[in-house]
Structure 1
Amino acid sequence: MNIAYVCVSHKPISIETTGGIETFTIYLLNALINLGHNVTLFAAKETDLTAFSPKLKFVPIFSLADLGKKESENLESKEFTLNYAFFQYAGVAKVLIEKETFDIIHYSCAQWYAPFLLSDGKTKTLTTIHVNNLRPSAISYLFNNFPNNYIANISDSSSMSFQSYPKRKTVYNGIDLEYFPYHNSPDDYYAWLGRIAPVKGLKEALQAAKIADVSLQASGPLDFMEYYNKDVKPLLDAKRKLIRPLNFREKGMFLGKAKAVLMPVNWEEPFGLVAIEAMACGTPVIAFARGGLKETVVDGKTGYLVNSVEEMAEKIKQIDKIDRKKCREHVEKNFSSQVMAEKYAEYYQEIQKIS
C-alpha cells in the first residue's frame, strides 16, 4: 500500500523525544516499511530521519522554529496559537498529499479533530487518537458531516469515550522490542517512570514503597513544580529517590533492572506505554486498575492490578510470584511494533474496501 502519514507535533520526532505520539510514529512507520508498504511521512523539518528506515519518504511541512515564533506571539493564548498552527500545517500536508495518489491518509496528532475539519469529504482518512475524548458533543457533529473519516483508538477504554462514533476500531500500541532487552535478574529497587504530574501518581508510588519498606527510584521530567514541592519532595528519602531524567537507551536498562514498575495513575490512562516497555524487559507492573492498563497488565500473570496505595504495597511483597519470562512473552505476542503494524495494515484494507 501507498501510505501518507501526517504527524503534526510541537516536539521533534526523535527516539529521544519524551512524547508518546513521536515514538509511536517511529515504531509504526518502521514496522509498516518492514512489511513492504510504501510510507511517506509529512512532519516537522527537524525530524530525526536516522530513527527511521532509509526507505521512508519524507516531506517537511513546517519548522519547529516557526512554531516557536507563533507560540511567543501575544494573541489569545498559547493554546490558541498552537491550535492555529496545527491546523495550518495539517492543511499544508493535505495540499501536498493531493498532488500524489495514496491509498490511505493516516493522521497522528494531539489535535485529533483537525483531520475531520480539513476533510474534503472524498478522501478516506484514518486518525489515531491518543487521548480520551473530552468533547462528547463534538462526536455526533463530526460523524454526520465527515463520513469518510475513520478513527483508531489505542485501547478499548479510550474507545468508550467515542461510543457515538461508529467508524472506529481499537489498535493497541506496540514497541520495537530491540530497544527493550530482556532482563532475568533484577536489582533490588522498584521503578517509577513518567511526567512528574498529579495524574501519573508519583506521590502514591512513593507512599506504597514507604509502606512496603522498599527502595524506589523515580525518573521523569518535572511538569508541575507546585505538585513536586507539596506532594513529592516531602516523601523522598535515602531509600526513595528522584534520579535525573534518562535518555532512551538508559530507560530500557532502568526498567529492565527493576523488580517491578509502579503505575498508580490518577486518571483513565488511555494506554500507558511504560507498562509494555517494562514488561518487554521482563519487569512486572503493579498498576491502579484504570484505563488502558486494565488491558495491558494481566493481573497475577504479568503484574498486579490494584485499587489503592495499601493494596499496591501488599502486592509489592508478592512480586517474586510473577514469572519475568511471561511478561516478555506477553508483549511479544500482543504489543510488538510488528503486531501493531499488521493490525493497522488490516484496518487500512478494511477502510479501502468500504464504498
Structure 2
Amino acid sequence: MRIALLSHVRQRIAQPFMGGMESHSWYLAEGLEARGHDVVLFAAGDSDPRFTIDPVLREHYERVFPWAEHRGSAPLIAHVDRGYAAACDRIAAGGFDVVHNNSLHRFPIEPARTAVVPTVTSLHVPPYDALHWFVKASATPTHRLTVTSTPQLHAWWPDGAPPEASVLHNGIDPAAWPFSPAGDGSAAWCGRITPNKGTHLAVRAARAAGIALTLFGSIEDPDYHAAKIVPYLDGTIRYGGHCDGAALAAELGRASVFLFTPCWDEPFGLVAIEAMACGLPVAAIEMGAAREVIGEAGRFADADDVVGLAAAIPAALAIPRSVPRARVERLFTRDRWLDRCEALYADVRAAHAAAQDVAA
C-alpha cells in the first residue's frame, strides 16, 4: 500500500524522542516500511531523513514558537493551520491508498477529506475542547478512529463509542528492549519532565522508600525542573539525560523497578511497557490507563499519594522480572500492533470502495 503517515509538528519525528507521539510515528513508519509498504511521512521537515518526508512545516514549530511562550497563540495556530491545509491537499492529490493520521489536527478528519482518501486517525490524548467536537463529527465509514486504551475510549465517548472507533494498544519490538534477568536494586523513571508526568512524585517517593533513582527524559518545563526536581538531586537521585532508544534500554535493564507517575488521565504510557520489556516491575500512580497497561506487572497507589507510591516500590520489587516481560510479549508487541493497523487499513479501504460503488 501507498500510505500517508501524517504526524504532529510540534517536535521532530526523530530520536531521541521528546515523547510518546514522536515515538509512535517513528516506529509506525519504520514498521510499515519493513513490511513492504510505501510510506511518506508528513511531518516537520527536520525529522529523521531515513524516511521519505513531505514537510508539513519546514521545521518543527517549537523551534519558532516555544510551546511555553506561545501556547494557544493566534500566530502559532495560523502557522500550523497553513501547513496542515497544504499537506492535506497534497495527500488528496497524491495517489495514496490510506492516511494514518497522528496529527491531532482538525483538518485531516473533516468528512470531506476522509471521503477522498480513507483515513485512520489515532488519538493519543484525552478529549480537549479544540478537537473534541471535530472528532465527534468525523466518524464515517471512510474514517476509523483509534484510542490507546479502554479508559480513553470512555473519555472520548462517555455515552458509547461509534462503530468506527476502537482501542488500538501501542506496541514495541521486544528485541529493541532486551530482557535483563537482574537489576542493581535501583529505580528508574523516564518521560517528559513536566508537571503532568509527575516527576516530582517519583523523586519524593524514592526518597521516602530509601531507594536510588535515575530520571531520564527531556526537560520540557525548565521552571518545574528547577523548582521541583533539582532540590532532590544528590548522590542517590540523579538525572541520567535524554537518551535514544538503545541507550535507554541499556539503562533500564540495569534497574530493578520502574516508577510510573502520571498526574493526568494518561491514555497509555509507552514508557511503562518499554521498562516492562526490560524486566522491570512497576510502582505506579493509578490514573488513566495505568492498570490496563501494567496489570499484574505492577503495584499501584492513588493519585498524588507519595506515601502510597513509596509503599508500592518494595511491593513491586517482589514481582518476578519474568512477569512484566511476559505481559509485553503477550499484549504489546510491535507485530501485534502493526497487524491491527493493517487490518484497519483494509477495513477502511473496503468501506471507501463500497461508498464509491454506491456513488457510481
- Shift, 1:253, TM fit: 1.4
The AA in structure 1 aligned to 2:194 is A
CA RMSD of aligned residues (A): 2.7
- Shift, 1:89, TM fit: 2.0
**More divergent stretch after superposition (270-279 vs 169-178):** 169-178
1:93–1:328 Cα change, 3 Å: same
Is this contact kept in 2: 1:174–1:337, CA < 8 A?
yes
For residue 98 of structure 1, the aligned residue among 92, 95, 117 is: 92
Q: Percent identity?
A: 27
For residue 115 of structure 1, the aligned residue among 98, 108, 111 is: 108
- Shift, 1:118, TM fit: 7.9
Partner of 1:34: 34
The AA in structure 2 aligned to 1:155 is S
The AA in structure 2 aligned to 1:336 is T
The AA in structure 2 aligned to 1:122 is A
Partner of 1:257: 254
> Structure 1 residue 213 and structure 2 residue 206: aligned?
no
Query: Which secondary structure does the structure 2 equivalent of 1:339 belong to?
Result: helix
Cα shift readout 1:108-155 (whole Å, capped 9, x = no counterpart): 11x33231248436223221111110129943x654467343321122
- Shift, 1:311, TM fit: 2.4
- The whole-number CA distance in structure 1 between the counterparts of 2:241 and 2:71 is 32
- Shift, 1:31, TM fit: 1.9
Is this contact kept in 2: 1:4–1:105, CA < 8 A?
yes
- Shift, 1:162, TM fit: 1.6
Q: Number of paired residues?
A: 343
1:68–1:317 Cα change, 3 Å: closer
- Structure 1 length-normalised TM: 0.86
Partner of 1:344: 341
After TM superposition, list the pairs within 5 Å mapping 1:7-156 onto structure 2. 7-50=7-50, 57-64=52-59, 67=61, 71=65, 79-109=73-103, 111-117=104-110, 119-120=112-113, 122-123=115-116, 124-135=118-129, 138-139=132-133, 142-144=135-137, 147=140, 148-156=142-150
Query: Which secondary structure does the structure 1 equivalent of 2:325 belong to?
Result: helix
Is this contact kept in 2: 1:127–1:151, CA < 8 A?
yes
- The whole-number CA distance in structure 1 between the counterparts of 2:71 and 2:196 is 24
- The whole-number CA distance in structure 2 between the counterparts of 1:256 and 1:186 is 7
Gapped regions of structure 2 (runs ≥ 5):
356-360
- Structure 2 length-normalised TM: 0.85
Cα shift readout 1:277-305 (whole Å, capped 9, x = no counterpart): 10111111111111122211013xx1222
The AA in structure 1 aligned to 2:42 is F
Partner of 2:230: 233
1:77–1:159 Cα change, 3 Å: closer
The AA in structure 2 aligned to 1:27 is Y
